[in-house]
Amino acid sequence: MFKKLLLGSVVALGFTGSAMAETVNILMEGVPDTQFVKELIPEFTKETGIEVNLEVVNYAEMHTKLVPQLVSPQGSYSAIVVDFYWVGEFVKAGWMQPLDERIKADNFDTSVYVPALMDLVGQVDGTTYMLPFYNYAMGLTYRTDLLADAQNQADFKAKYGMDLKVPATWDEYLKQVEFFTKDGMHGVVNQGLRPDPIAMEWSNYLFANGGTYHDADWNPTLNNEAGVKAVEQYKTMIDKFGPVGSASFSFDEAFNVMAQGKAYSYITYNFFRTAYDDPSKSAVVGKVEIMPVPGPTPEQGGSLNGAWGWAIPKSSPNPDAAWTFLKWVESKEIAKKRALAGGSPTRTDVFDDPDLNAKYAYFPALKQMLLTSHNFPVFTYTPQLVEVLGRELSLAVAGEKSPSDALAAIEAEMAELARKDGKLK
Amino acid sequence: MSGIKASAADRRDARFGYVLAAPSLTVLFLIILFPVLSALYTSLHEYTLIAPNFDIFTGFDNFRLALADAEFRHSAWLTIRFVIGVVLLEFVIGFGIALMLNKVERFKPIYYAILLCPLLMNPVIVGLIWRMFLHPNLGIVNYLLSTVGLGPVNWLGDTKIAIWTVIMVDIWHQVSFMIVLLLAGLASLPKEPYEAARVDGANAFQCFIHITLPMMRTVIIVTLLIRLIFAVKTYDLIYIMTRGGPGVATDLVSYFIYRTAFVGLNIGEASAMSIILLTAILGLTAYLYRYMRSIR
Amino acid sequence: MRIKWSTILPHLVLTVFSLAILLPLVWVLRVSLTDKLTAYRIPPEIGHIGLENYVEIFSVYPFERWFFNSLLVALLSTAISLPLATAMAYAFARFNTGGAMLRLGVLASQMLPPIILVLPLFTLFFTTGLMQTHLGLVLSHLTISLPFLAWMLVSFFEGDSASLEEAARIDGATRWQAFIKIAVPVAAPGILAAGLLGFILSWNEFLFALVLSGASTQTLPIGLASMETHAGVEIAPLAAATVVSLLPVFALLPFLRKYLIKGLSLGALK
């Protein structure tokens, strides 16, 4: 037995070393696109003769697994996927290989990517480190059947003096939330869990009120009218218009409330749109649609952008084979196949593809969402900023801090982090 | 027996002891000594994941920073209360159940198999499954409460309730750990003292106080100690169930150290915090150990 | 009347306790037979019933690989750590080997949060080629189980078997024979319990397994955790996987019957 184990360890060592260039090891987290990539891999192996070894871990634990690999001069993974949170950190620590020379040599066209995504998980200060893999921009998911109901329309008109329709502005949406909180229904469900669910969701509230995180010089701009309003609205949503306990909901709990037909709306990651139409998960098949989070005016959006990108780590044992895989997986053909299976694309030519628009009626809304979305501050300490936001917002929602006190605390820590990173002078 | 002979036997005894301990010690020294020393060394340097080098020696700055951090102090204090809560409650329940199990013969393996089940579940799974049960609107627990006119209870979203919810789930998950060890302790007690006591007319309660407790003392202390060390390291359950929230109501110190190391990227400070933690537990262990010796 | 009450009371308490443990698991079993929609239906409905989740954990997820890896690592690390820890515990208890310092020192590494140990451990394993191997996982789990098992067992050797051993030594038994033939059987209940807990420690270990495993050596906890995805928790397949991973306990039943009732009474011999 022991001999066999020792032998096994030697074989595994061979895999991790650079000797076997024909196997590409990739570390991924569980997102919908991961499964679609997995299903397409036999095509790649047939085309190139390169084997692909996909290792999937819990999305939230991936950073923990990745860091020792990246710190090490030589690691086990040929290619990895990178959340936008980590981009600043990974670049600062020098953990990713620049891709520009490979892109140039192979004439790989990066202009097809949605510009906001290329800014988020593609280029940093003019150097390309990643290819945008899939997006998780947030949108407003809402119940179309409730909007279309004649009785609701009449009641809404009588109460607010305006038509009940797809909301064009944030204020109009807030009225609808209040209106639909009746008869055991909730106007909204929130994901108030620390740190990323609440930080990500609240960012939409900030942008929808016309707020921003910082000015051009990285001075924090949160503790002002827009910021305070965003916190107050968020707290009101949870306390008055949402189900009990949404202050501790992760997106799974919140999605289930919506999928069980107990809420009118939920601001969440766009890939949940497909899940609403899955009858094994949802009681509201065909009754939920997605749109960009409405902004202060009909022209402005309030959506938060988010995405993962493919990268080749510095410690990659076989970067050339990894690049061959990246080129293939991000080609128009494969990107389209992934999107057809239900993935979240990053390429404009995929968004404009007639087959996809025929299959998914909400594709124009998704594209619009990306084009009007706002990026979260990306710098070395983004994950820490998310932690601070999560803690302070959670304290404000729990009523243990006033909105402006919480925002002042966030501003102070954010300024300190930005200063440490050399962004704020 | 002459003195020289006795000391020769003692020396051979001592040598035999080292021979028996050597394989374990070799494994431990080879694998864990380097990481532990590395943590000690790191705690004295400004070592971050962004700049993973030992260029800047900072002495005890990391320790000072950690102790001055209000969030660290809050989570340390919370951890002390959490640990006392889970360890004591689990001990009381666990000892009670172990005593009962020690009394029965019929169905014993079935009871035992059932109580092993939660132990074989990973904390991550336990957390995810209880989140489902405790969903305030869609969970079975609040539904059952509502059928008798109670609730809905905001299990994880209320700053006053959340920590008790976590303690409750931890008890469900870990109480069997105590039972397994305490039952083994009870099973290895000799029978004669009980028979003698019965002849003297002692009742069950007197037997428990005067025979069971004193003879179980070392097993009890070791059980408490081991469970305590695990309870201090609780982080997966928090990570899955509350992420330290709502607010900072469940922010236990191990989860805080985890974030300092892998979110804050500050390995130096995280190491210093860990060593503060180590010192505290080691001090307590040494105290309990001496107490254990003194009563022998 | 009194006598009857005292035989019924333990069963009553144990039944209530068993139900408290079991009922949540029954609900997990139910969720494993349905879909996510039905799992969250309130008030509960019968809804959809089927075995798809059990099919899914083997077809979509490599459940059998996770299970095998966990079983192999947990069995091996227990098989190695139990005899080694027993020997060390005996040395501690009988000969006070290394004194209090060594005893505390052995346990001290376990008082550090594992997150602090994982970076140097990674370096160590990478340079020795143990990264992503079963052997590496077994060794990393030994560092956890050896100190704990030794501590648990010390208290079982500190009972009064010392006098029995001395008697045997006078009768001409060697130190080794006194250890194996007398001390070990007397401490059998403790050794069995420690073995069980050692298996459980390794079976559930998460952080070392996360960082040190690879695609082919992923253990059950890491695999099951990957069912919590960025698009929500795959709760129904997760429930099915939980049910299957608990089945080995019931395979233990005959073993438990033998050792809990007959084996444990060994300790009463003395």
Tens of pLDDT, residues B197-226: 989 888 888 999 999 999 898 899 999 999
**Cβ of C68 under 8 Å from any chain A Cβ?**
no
Q: Are B159 and B78 in contact (CB under 8 A)?
A: no
**pTM, full prediction:** 0.91
Residues paired with residue C233 on neighbouring β-strands, in sequence order = C228
At a CB cut-off of 8 Å and minimum separation 6, what does B145 contact? Answer: B151, B152, B153
Contacts with A, C 214-253, CB within 8 Å: 214-218, 222, 225-233, 236
Res A20: pLDDT: 46
> Which whole-number Å values give the CA distances from C188 to A49, B112, B184, in the listed order?
56, 17, 9
Q: DSSP readout, B38-53?
A: HHHHHTTB---SSS-S
Residue A410 reports pLDDT greater than 90: yes
Domains and CATH numbers, chain A: 2-136+306-372 (3.40.190.10), 138-304+379-420 (3.40.190.10)
Residue C102 reports pLDDT greater than 60: yes
Q: Please report all neighbours of B, defined by 3+ CB atom pairs within 8 A.
A: A, C
**Cβ of C120 under 8 Å from any chain A Cβ?**
no
B135/C10 touch (CB, cutoff 8 Å), yes or no: no
pLDDT over 90, % of chain C? 61
A253/B242 touch (CB, cutoff 8 Å), yes or no: no
Res A12: pLDDT: 45
B296: pLDDT confidence band, cut at 50, 70 and 90? low
Largest CA distance in chain C: 73
Contacts with B, A 266-305, CB within 8 Å: none
A259/C40 touch (CB, cutoff 8 Å), yes or no: yes
Tell me the H-state helices in B233-266: 236-241, 253-262
Residue A377 DSSP class: P
Res C179: pLDDT: 92
A64/C211 touch (CB, cutoff 8 Å), yes or no: yes
Q: What ipTM does the predicted assembly reach?
A: 0.91
B293: pLDDT confidence band, cut at 50, 70 and 90? confident
Q: Give the Cα-Cα-Cα angle A391, A385, B70 (nearest 5 degrees).
A: 50
Residue C13 reports pLDDT greater than 90: yes
C266: pLDDT confidence band, cut at 50, 70 and 90? very low
Tens of pLDDT, residues C163-216: 888 888 888 889 999 999 989 988 888 898 999 999 999 999 999 999 999 989
B257: pLDDT confidence band, cut at 50, 70 and 90? very high
Residue A223 DSSP class: S
In C, which residues are within 8 Å of A283 by CB distance? 37
A17: pLDDT confidence band, cut at 50, 70 and 90? very low
Res A327: pLDDT: 95
Res C262: pLDDT: 56
Residue C38 reports pLDDT greater than 70: yes
Helix (H) / strand (E) element for A298: namely: none
Res B7: pLDDT: 82
Residue C25 reports pLDDT greater than 70: yes
**Cβ of B115 under 8 Å from any chain C Cβ?**
yes
Tokens at C192, concatenated: 């069995």
Residue of A nearest to B246 (CA): A394
* C-alpha–C-alpha distance, residues A200 and A390, integer Å: 9
Tokens at B128, concatenated: 């995810």
A1: pLDDT confidence band, cut at 50, 70 and 90? very low
A61: pLDDT confidence band, cut at 50, 70 and 90? confident
Residue of C nearest to B179 (CA): C193
Residue of B nearest to A58 (CA): B124
Tell me which of A58 and A214 has the higher pLDDT. Answer: A214
Res A13: pLDDT: 43
Tokens at B136, concatenated: 């305030």
Tell me the H-state helices in A94-168: 100-105, 115-121, 144-148, 150-160
At a CB cut-off of 8 Å and minimum separation 6, what does B191 contact? Answer: C268
C261: pLDDT confidence band, cut at 50, 70 and 90? low
C116/B189 touch (CB, cutoff 8 Å), yes or no: no
A2: pLDDT confidence band, cut at 50, 70 and 90? very low
Helices A84-93 + A382-397 axis angle, to 10: 140
Is residue A416 packed enough to be buried (19+ CB in 10 Å), middle (13-18) or exposed (0-12)? middle
Best probe of the A interface among B72, B243, B254, B262, by most A CBs < 10 A, is B243
**Cβ of B265 under 8 Å from any chain A Cβ?**
yes
Superfamily of domain B43-294: MetI-like (1.10.3720.10)
Beta strand A127-128 with A123-124 is antiparallel
pLDDT over 90, % of chain A? 87
Over residues A195-208, the mean pLDDT reads: 96
Q: Are C210 and C114 in contact (CB under 8 A)?
A: no
A314: pLDDT confidence band, cut at 50, 70 and 90? very high
- A73 cis-preceded (ω within 30 degrees of 0): no
Over residues A42-59, the mean pLDDT reads: 92
* C-alpha–C-alpha distance, residues A135 and A158, integer Å: 40
- Residue that has been written with the tokens 């080749």 in this structure: A312
Where exactly are the structural domains of chain B?
1-30, 43-294
Best probe of the A interface among C32, C37, C124, by most A CBs < 10 A, is C37
Q: Out of B52, B124, B156, name the one closest to residue A248 (CB).
A: B156
Over residues B254-266, the mean pLDDT reads: 91
In B, which residues are within 8 Å of A383 by CB distance? 263
Residue A244 reports pLDDT greater than 60: yes
Best probe of the B interface among C97, C123, C177, C184, by most B CBs < 10 A, is C97
Residue A3 reports pLDDT greater than 60: no
Q: How many CB atoms lie within 10 A of CB A388?
A: 22
The full 3-state SS of C51-83, as one line of letters, equals CHHHHHHHHCCCHHHHHHHHHHHHHHHHHHHHH
Q: Sign of torsion, CA A104 A105 A111 A113?
A: negative
In C, which residues are within 8 Å of B133 by CB distance? 24, 27
Over residues B33-55, the mean pLDDT reads: 91
Which of A247, A246, A210 is CA-nearest to residue A227?
A210
Residue A60 reports pLDDT greater than 90: no
Residue C42 DSSP class: S
Q: Out of C42, C204, C260, name the one closest to residue B108 (CB).
A: C260
Tens of pLDDT, residues A100-127: 999 999 999 999 999 999 999 999 999 9
**Cβ of B165 under 8 Å from any chain C Cβ?**
no
Residue C32 reports pLDDT greater than 90: yes
Tens of pLDDT, residues B11-33: 888 999 999 999 999 999 999 89
Residue A16 reports pLDDT greater than 80: no
Over residues C115-132, the mean pLDDT reads: 90
Res C3: pLDDT: 61
Residue A114 DSSP class: -
Residue C40 reports pLDDT greater than 90: yes
Res A18: pLDDT: 41
Residues paired with residue A51 on neighbouring β-strands, in sequence order = A23
In whole numbers, what is the pLDDT of chain B averaged over residues?
A: 91
In whole numbers, what is the pLDDT of chain A averaged over residues?
A: 92
In B, which residues are within 8 Å of A192 by CB distance? 157, 245-246
* C-alpha–C-alpha distance, residues A122 and A376, integer Å: 15
C94/B177 touch (CB, cutoff 8 Å), yes or no: no
Q: Are A389 and A202 in contact (CB under 8 A)?
A: yes
Tell me which of C44 and C254 has the higher pLDDT. Answer: C44
Give the highest mean pLDDT range of A34-38, A406-410, C37-41, C119-123.
A406-410
Q: Which of A61-65, A186-190, B224-228 has the least mean pLDDT? A: A61-65
Helix (H) / strand (E) element for C255: namely: helix C253-256
> Which whole-number Å values give the CA distances from C268 to B112, B199, B213, C2, C94, in the listed order?
20, 19, 17, 26, 21
Domains and CATH numbers, chain C: 62-226 (1.10.3720.10)
B111/C14 touch (CB, cutoff 8 Å), yes or no: yes
Q: Are B224 and B291 in contact (CB under 8 A)?
A: no
Residue A291 reports pLDDT greater than 60: yes
Q: Are A5 and C133 in contact (CB under 8 A)?
A: yes
Tens of pLDDT, residues C60-93: 999 999 999 999 999 999 999 999 999 999 999 9
Tokens at A320, concatenated: 């050339």
Best probe of the B interface among C7, C14, C192, by most B CBs < 10 A, is C14
In whole numbers, what is the pLDDT of chain C averaged over residues?
A: 89
Which of A193, A198, A205 is CA-nearest to residue A233?
A205
In C, which residues are within 8 Å of A67 by CB distance? 119
Tens of pLDDT, residues B142-196: 999 999 998 789 999 999 999 999 999 999 999 999 999 999 999 888 888 888 9
Helix (H) / strand (E) element for C269: namely: none
At a CB cut-off of 8 Å and minimum separation 6, what does C208 contact? Answer: C114, C118, C121, C137, C140, C141, C144
**Cβ of B74 under 8 Å from any chain A Cβ?**
no
Res B192: pLDDT: 85
Res B4: pLDDT: 55
Res A110: pLDDT: 94
